Every structure is written in C-alpha cells, then in structure tokens.
Amino acid sequence: MTQNPFLISPQDLAAVIDRDGVSIVDASWYLPAQNRFAKAEYDAGHVPGAVFFDQDDIVDPASSLPHTLPPADVFAEKVGALGISDTDTIVVYDGMGLFSAPRVWWMLRTFGAKDVRVLDGGFPAWQAASLPVETTAPESRPATFAARLDEDAAVFLPQMKDIVAAGSLQILDARPADRFAGEAPEPRQGVRAGHMPGARSMPFLQLTEGGRLKPPEELRRAFAEAGIDPGRPSVTSCGSGVTAAVINLALESLGNRSSRLYDGSWTEWGSAADTPVETGRGPKT
C-alpha cells in the first residue's frame, strides 16, 4: 500500500484483487474533444473484475446539468446493481491515469462508502506493469449500497451564492487558466466565460504528473504558487464537477478534511442569469 491512504498501487491491487469485499470500478469518462469512448475502451480491456461506472448515467435524472449528484435512492439502486456495497474496499481508476476517477472516488465517499482508493496511475499504470487484462464484464451480483448524502461534502447553487458573496471559503477552479480568465470560450453553449468572484485558478493538471497525483511536497508547492492555503476550508469547481475532484483528492491527501465540491460547477454558475462573473487571471499571489 502506498503512503497516501487514498491511493493504491497496481501491484498492491493485484495482490488483493480476488478477495471478498474488494470492488473495482472503471470510472473512465472523456470530453468530446478527446475523441475517446469510455465504454468501448472498457469492453476492449479492463482490470479483471472491474465494473463500468457510467458517469453520464448515474446522475440526477431531473437535472438538465451534466454530472449532477443523483438522489440517494437512485445512487443506491444503480451502484448496488453494479455489485458495489458501501462496506467494500472500492478501487476506482480511469483510462487517462488521473482524470475522471477522482469524481467517482468523491461520489462514493459522499454517499457513505468508507474505504475508497484511486488506482495510482490508473489503467495505463496497470498495463505498464504487465498485469492481467480481461475483456468480459464480471457476472452480475447485485449488492446493497446504503446511500446517504454527506451534505458537508457537496455545495449547491444557493450555498455557492452565499460563499461567493461572503468570501467565506477558498474557491478553487480546476479548469484551464485561459477558461478561468475568460480568454477562451466555454465548450458548452450558453455558458459565459470567466470565473466566480474571489476564485483562484488551480488547473488540475498542475497537480498531476504522468497520470499520477504529485507527491505531497510538489502539491504544496503548486497550491502555494496559486496563492492557496491547502489547510484552509475550500470549495472546488470545474466545468461540470468532474476534474474539480482532482483538487479534492489532492487536498485530502495533504490532510484537509474540510474540502467540498460545487456540484453544478461552472456550467451551472456560468449559465445562470443572476450570478456574478469576473474575467482576468485573478488576484496576484
């Protein structure tokens, strides 16, 4: 096991892969511009025993926004149908190394799972270690996932408006710096360019290297260069709530247990009619 309690190496996963109570989740998801297709890649090869977690399906069916948290009963039904229990040791990974897996890591914990790890280096690291790959989905064995939303983990629009108005939390934006500054258009139609007042730009790629989370000292340096105190209470955001979770993973890896995630993220904020938007690179560090 690695020192980081939220990561597990390919070799350590291989050693426990057949144990009862270990669930493995392929949490791959890609942006349209990446021209990759998560389910097709899963079907072509995945970690043995892994189930596919569809991040476009396990969402709030009543919301028009992408990737919003579903009600607890919907989450329980869909995740339980995958054979995942809240009492399992759950290992999540993605096909980029570290991109979309932290979102599912965060979701599972937000709904009550106690032991959730991210595969260090993801599926590329598993393959690089010459570990087994299979192409068939595991036999369906429904489980019970007792889902209960941790309201301290997620932030929704009314709360986010109050946080921005009061400046009560650090707001960390995982989008690329040019989108944060309003210098590049948003990929979703009807969403304004820019950022929330008071937010800091913390592109998630500055927290990763080679598809892995950077070591603690490098994470601290990245946060410091962005003018962020990783020990303070924070709320994270991105385009639709996926890569924001990379920041949450980094913060929790440094011991910050008070990080939250704005579920609607910039798609919601930037498309609302009554939310303030700023442009520019943000405050100087």
Task: Write the DSSP string, 228-248.
Answer: --TTS-EEEE-SSSSTHHHHH
Q: Could you tell me which residues are beta bridge partners of residue 117?
A: 91
* Domain 7-128 CATH superfamily: Rhodanese-like domain (3.40.250.10)
Q: Which residues are catalytic?
A: 238
d(CA 54, CA 275): 30
Q: What token pair was written down for 115?
A: 């032991």
**pTM exceeding the 0.75 threshold for the entire prediction:** yes
Q: What token pair was written down for 120?
A: 């260090």
Q: What token pair was written down for 234?
A: 């924070």
Q: Look at residue 32 and give its three-state secondary structure.
A: helix
- In the sheet with 234-237, reading across from the earlier edge strand, the strands are 154-155, 259-262, 234-237, 170-173, 200-201
The total of other beta-carbon atoms located within 10 Å of residue 151's CB is 11
Question: What averages of pLDDT result for each successive group of 10 residues across the chain (285 residues)?
Answer: 84 97 98 95 98 98 96 98 98 98 98 98 98 96 97 97 97 98 95 98 98 98 98 98 98 97 98 97 64
d(CA 44, CA 151): 37
Q: 60: Cβ–Cβ under 8 A, 6 or more apart, which residues?
A: 68, 69, 70, 71, 74
| Domain ranges for the chain | 7-128, 154-271
d(CA 201, CA 218): 17
pLDDT of 268 reads 98
Please, are residues 67 and 103 in contact by the beta-carbon 8 Å criterion?
Answer: yes
Fold match between domain 7-128 and domain 154-271: yes
pLDDT of 283 reads 66
Just give the CATH number of 154-271: 3.40.250.10
